[in-house]
Chain A
Amino acid sequence: MDGHLKVKISRAKETDDRRPIKTWSRRSVILPDFVGVNLAVHNGNKFIPIFVTENMVGHKVGEFSPTRTYRSHGNKTDKRVGKK
């Protein structure tokens, strides 16, 4: 866990800041303190915004910022997504 990211997150939590926190520290582990924070994790090309939830605790930050893009075919398929 990189100290500089922890400092940024504790500052954001104190001020209840909704702005995404930019980070390049993909190796940092998500701690329980991070829940509810908006992170923007760099994937080598751009920042991917992620909203930290409870079930992400224990994973590394970089796991949620994919470095490769998968473009599916244009079919109308039975694929769904949910708002959490």
Chain B
Amino acid sequence: MAPLDRNQLTVIGRVTAPHGVLGDIKVAPQTEDPAYYQTLKEVYLDSPKGLKGFKVKAFVWKGAWWLARLEGLDDRTAAGDLKGAMVLVQDSQLKPLAEDEYFIHDLMGCRVESPQGENLGQVTELMETGADPVLVVRRGDLMDTEWLLPLAAAYVQSVDAAAKIIHADPPVELLELNLPDPSAEKTGLRQKESPGLKAKREARPKGQK
């Protein structure tokens, strides 16, 4: 198999253990639709020994892991040496993206632009909240501040993953949501405290913390 550039490959799983005495391996999935990859013809294993391509004899989904039989891997010792190796496939073999779906790695480094063309920062991280995923955007301004942008239609108009640009229309309050509050300096707190805590603090006798 022709060696490939690592940038053209994507991780779909990790070898966890050898299985049986014929060189089979168990692979833990790192993808959301493992059943899709049962028809793979070739995979690449990235182990401490390097990146190597294998033709696939069988790649069966067992409910919680794949059982893989690869060409050239015929005994348990050789399979055991691959424990911990990452399993990769070519980008062209990945399951196609649905509409308004993006790879997380494609969103990293995207520039966020307002409708007026203003640069609002660069995506550095993604937080999974249970609701919409939230992008952490770092502004390259003097204060080097961060703000959070939910990946929701209410704020994000379009995502151009190829051009690495996200068109968003966030209200100003969203950009300033987590900035330090100037009034908090008096209390010695980094942020404005909740109204309940503030009332409790003010009700305490002077000198008591």
Interface residues of A (CB under 8 A from B): 4, 18-20, 22, 24, 38, 40, 42, 46-53, 56, 63-66, 69-71, 75-84
Determine the distance from Cα of A42 to Cα of B178 in the docked complex, in whole angstroms.
10
Q: Are A46 and B105 in contact (CB under 8 A)?
A: no
- Name the one of A47, A63, A65, A80 contacting B103, with C-beta atoms under 8 angstroms: A80
A33 to B12, CA, bound (A): 41
CA distance A62 to B128 in the complex (A): 14
Q: Is the CB of B101 within 8 A of A76?
A: no
Question: In whole angstroms, how far apart are the Cα atoms of A76 and B30 in the complex?
Answer: 11
Give the A-binding residues of B (Cβ under 8 A).
7, 9-12, 30-32, 86, 94-95, 97-98, 100-105, 107, 125-134, 148-156, 159, 171, 173-174, 177-178, 191, 194-196
**CB-CB < 8 A to B86: which residues of A?**
75
When distances are taken between beta carbons in the complex, the residues of chain B under 8 Å from A46 are: 148, 177-178, 191
Q: Are B105 and A77 within 8 A (Cβ)?
A: yes
Judging by beta carbons under 8 Å apart, are B131 and A77 in contact? Answer: no
Chain B: CB-nearest residue to A51: B152
